[in-house]
Homo-oligomer: A and B are copies of this chain.
Amino acid sequence: MMKTITVLPGDGIGPEVTASAVRVLKSIFSTSNRNVQFIEKKIGGAAIDAYGTPLPQETIDQCHHSDAILLGAVGGPKWNQQSMQLRPEQGLLGIRKAMGLFANLRPVEAFQALVDASPLKQSFVEQVDFVIVRELTGGLYFGRPSERLGPNQDRVVDTLAYSRQEIQRVVEKAFQLALKRRRKITSIDKANVLESSRMWREVVNETAKRYPEVAVTHQLVDSAAMQLITNPSQFDVLVTENMFGDILSDEASVLTGSLGMMPSASLRADKVGLYEPAHGSAPDIAGQGKANPLATILSAALLLRYSLDMDTEAAQIETAVRQILNQGIHTSDLHVANHEDQIVSTSEMTDHVIHAI
């Protein structure tokens, strides 16, 4: 049966890094004899330029008919002055919501070859291996009202809203994931201040009863922001609401030494998912062949694992990436001054990965 992957290159370095990941996927599909078609659509600034909207209906429709979506990055100075509804980010928020992709998974793993590039001392990062599960379609990002109030429009509100069911489904995902890992969940909230956090904590505790084999702890978000740096190896699966997850997952990315290494998967209850690097569109280096494609290539590995049940091939990509880094082959973002590593371009790095697989 033919599978469909929709590719949304987006802006900046998005086209370069998705092209790399597509090449890696095609080489895997050809050796494993899988019938997969790739269809490209516009999102973000590129879609604003072509259609006057960051998320054309055509893009949404195509995504609805896909088994998986591979996204590059959106945004750039060109569209910064636009009104809110015409900003590239709205394409990203819109597609997550339209597809109901409520669980964003961000694996954070130390790459032995890159510990020198981390701002942290080696002893703090070498054992790091956890996944952040961020709720992605609720909370402050989508709650209404989100508007100015009062006769002079001099008051403003945003709304952090959740239904119990929205919390349940993402917490359930986290427990399922923990079963396949070290069976430890850290749920992060601000239950000493927020009512939504108290409901969150209740749902986690109720769910925990159905998973007696999973050890559950709760951490306050401020404390978690410290512990991510002072004791990151304590974590296995972290689960938290949308805004806390946004902040903590970017913070956690510093552990690995480069945002250029961080993949992400946005999932729902079935197998359909959207996969994208955690980094942005880096307009300053776009089109120069300097972009690090590894975060997108590692996102493609997650695509194989979660959307196409190709665990073996996913692991092959991950092993290949590790191997190449161990050989001292780096893109320029990973370069550590005093190392004799070999700096390669986006497409050379992609060739290395394909070759190593």
Chain A residues engaging chain B, CB cutoff 8 angstroms: 84, 87, 89, 93, 119-121, 124, 140-141, 143, 146-148, 150, 154-165, 190, 192-196, 198-199, 221-223, 225-226, 228-230, 243-244, 246-251, 253-254, 259
Contacts and interface: CB of A to CB of B under 8 A. Distances in A.
B165 A161 contact: no
Contacts of A159: 157-160
A86 to B, nearest CB: 12
The 9 closest A-B pairs by CB, nearest first: A225-B251, A222-B250, A154-B164, A158-B160, A229-B254, A156-B199, A119-B124, A156-B196, A157-B161
A140 B124 contact: no
B250 A141 contact: no
30 contacts: A119-B121, A119-B230, A140-B194, A141-B193, A146-B194, A146-B195, A147-B195, A148-B195, A150-B163, A154-B164, A155-B163, A156-B162, A156-B163, A156-B198, A157-B161, A157-B195, A159-B159, A159-B160, A222-B249, A222-B250, A223-B250, A225-B225, A225-B250, A226-B250, A226-B251, A226-B259, A230-B254, A244-B247, A247-B247, A251-B251
Contact of A120 (B119, B163, B222): B119
Contacts of A158: 159-160, 194-196
B247 A193 contact: no
How many copies of this chain does the complex contain?
2
A212 B161 CA distance: 40
Nearest to A258: B230
B163 A154 contact: yes
Contacts of A155: 161-164
A126 to B, nearest CB: 12
A221 B196 contact: no
A357 to B, nearest CB: 31
